Amino acid sequence: MSLINVLHMNEGEGDSSYANNCFLQEHAIKRTLPFLKHAIKSMANHDVFFNNGCFVVADLGCSSSINTLLVASNIIDIVHDECQENNRKTPQFQVCLNDLLGNDFNTLFKLLPNFYECLRDKGENIGPCFMSAVPGSFYNRLFPDKSLHLVHSSYSVQWFSQVPQGLEGNKSNIYISKTSPPSVFQAYKKQFRSDFTKFLQLRYEEMVRGGHMVLTLPGRRKVDPTTDDCWSLWDLLTKSLLELLKEDLVRESDINSFNLPFYLPCEDELRNIIQDDVLFVLDDMNVFEVNWDPQDTDHTNMNGLIKGGDHNGHVKNTAKVIRAITEPLLASHFGASIVDLMFKKYEKHVADHLAIKKTRQFTIVISLTKK
């Protein structure tokens, strides 16, 4: 499976589209705003961008929703505030929106007129802002040497450049599970280290000295890769596929040959890779948790959801989020005809799980400075 051609979020603006099911990512962007403020303030304090006519930002794995422009708007506001505090002129902005070739850039472009209108409403002292699309893998070079001041990426760098080698023993699983042999975990871990190291090395070449990078990615709180926070969602998807197998709607060989191409690291893994690579200073690393349904604002109760209207809504929202980010991969491998039924089954498994325990998504935020 060539990931560069099939790895993208659900297109369009329909009920199952990423554009309408990106609440989790929106929540993460809001939670990481203090990290962006700190990074930009640090660059201002070290005069990284004041003498430049243009502040250049890259949003890597930008996808195709209003969240992308929310990030750009936040960055512009923070830079402007820093310039005001230091009695300096606000620079022009170049925002480079990057994702793979299958990304729905057209949906993103349709949001730009409103973005520019909101930018004009901020006053004459802000802007102009030049937006550009940069299609391609961030595991390749994307920008000229020393051209970027700030790199941002949210819920993207967990995705691999390729499916790991050596997963033949991961029978009847589509990710690391409690029944996976140790070799499967090692294969995933090795692929993540390779990809994340390459990601850092490439960005080092593209960023100015003293430039900052803020990365947000899903992870796990414990060393054990089969902890509930990073395994359950995908185990429930596996169960849905195995039910389709019993109904002769998918083939066992297709399940055995399919493995999700991402990895949820723990904090120590990330810290070790960054320190071993010695290209960036790790300024900060923090974590937060969000309910599977990010619209569920009850962050104290860990018991099962009470059945009823709210329970059904949380279940549906959770299933829609997972469908929005996995449907293109699943449809490419198993065929589009089984997707609706598979997610009906998945919704039922999510309901059963959440009736017992409210599991949360563990998220890691990293702030880095180029040496």
Order the strands of the 54-60 sheet from edge to edge.
Answer: 129-135, 92-99, 54-60, 148-154, 207-218, 360-370, 280-291
Across all residues in the chain, what is the average pLDDT?
A: 85
Cα 262 from Cα 264, distance rounded (Å): 7
Q: What is the rounded CA–CA span in Å between residue 205 and residue 199?
A: 10
Q: What is the Cα–Cα distance from 338 to 103, expressed in whole angstroms? A: 23
Confidence tier at 55 by pLDDT (50, 70, 90): very high
Q: If you average pLDDT over residues 124-142, what whole number do you get? A: 90
Burial of 227 from C-beta contacts in 10 A (0-12 / 13-18 / 19+): middle
Binning pLDDT at 50, 70 and 90, where does residue 313 land? low
Does the pLDDT of residue 286 top 60, yes or no? Answer: yes
Q: Is the pLDDT of residue 68 over 90?
A: no
Q: What would you report as the CA-atom Rg of the chain, rounded to the nearest whole angstrom?
A: 21
Tell me, what's the pLDDT at 323? 83
**What distance separates the 2 farthest-apart alpha carbons in the chain?**
69
Which pLDDT score, from 0 to 100, does residue 122 have? 77
Q: What is the DSSP letter of 18?
A: S
pLDDT at 18: 67
Q: What is the pLDDT of residue 135?
A: 93
**Structural domain span for residue 318:** 3-370
**From the CB of residue 132, how many other CB atoms can be counted at a distance below 10 Å?**
10
Choose the weakest-confidence range: 107-116, 246-255, 293-302.
Answer: 293-302
Q: Domain of 234: which CATH number? A: 3.40.50.150
CA atoms within 13 A on the CB side of 202: 16
- Is residue 46 helix, strand or coil? coil
Give 365's strand partners.
216, 286
pLDDT band for position 293 (50/70/90)? low
If one compares 298 and 320, the residue with the highest pLDDT of the two is: 320
Q: How many domains does the chain have?
A: 1
What's the pLDDT tens digit per position in 217-232?
A: 999 888 887 776 666 8
Three-class HEC string of 286-317: EEEEEECCCCCCCCCCCECCCCCHHHHHHHHH
